[in-house]
Chain A
């Protein structure tokens, strides 16, 4: 099935550094979601974006819904060891409701203390 283009695939950073990852698509999505998955667990929602151009923060996390509705980025500021995990973007063509999600391939983040 279709997947979003997520990059980078992996990142190795030092504690305290900022992180940026993004997702792009050739088609429009009307909802963008960012999830974090720890090993052996299900994904946990970090930020949900519902409007083109929207910039939303959740603590040290900031995500933006691209104006073209074909991309989104996630920034993590001042990273800490517990930020380690796999981050997934997900898009939905509708807004809310029970429409299925399309996922990116994930960005594996490693934070060195």
Chain B
């Protein structure tokens, strides 16, 4: 089936530094990638939608300068959390629509900012 590989699975960073999260589609071309944020015991909240070769679309209330999204190829989308602060600590998940398998999710990245 269609697989989205997400890395890293866990990252701890110091406040003020930037962290990059990668999502790769392994056996299909992902023209679109959705990026979600999930707080403990809560549902997935869509942050932004990236489309290959064009600017990402951000949901209301999401700072585009803080959460930089790049979708430079059909198999790779990245989310960079810039100047991270403790309140950015969360579980970040990517997802890509596929023709045969609906939406495929990455395994998530647990970000802890200390």
Contacts and interface: CB of A to CB of B under 8 A. Distances in A.
Interface in A44-67: 44-45, 48
A42 B108 contact: yes
Contacts of B34: 100-101
Contact of A41 (B4, B43, B108): B108
Interface residues of A, number: 23
Contact of A1 (B59, B91, B105): B59
Q: Interface on chain A toward B: helix, strand, loop, or mixed SS?
A: loop
A44 B106 CA distance: 9
Given A40-B108, A101-B46, 7 more contacts: A1-B60, A33-B102, A42-B93, A43-B93, A98-B32, A98-B97, A100-B49
A97 interface: yes
Given A33-B102, A43-B105, A48-B102, A105 B43 contact: yes
A14 interface: no
Q: Interface on chain B toward A: helix, strand, loop, or mixed SS?
A: strand
Interface of B: 4, 6, 9, 31-32, 34, 41-46, 49, 59-60, 91, 93, 95, 97, 99, 101-108, 110
A43 B59 CA distance: 21
A106 B32 CA distance: 25
Contacts of A105: 42-43
Contacts of A106: 42-43
**6 tightest CB-CB pairs across the interface, nearest first?**
A42-B105, A98-B32, A98-B97, A105-B43, A103-B43, A42-B108
B110 A40 contact: yes
B107 A100 contact: no
Given A40-B110, A44-B105, A100 B46 contact: yes
B10 to A, nearest CB: 8
Contacts of A101: 34, 46, 95, 103
Contacts of B41: 108
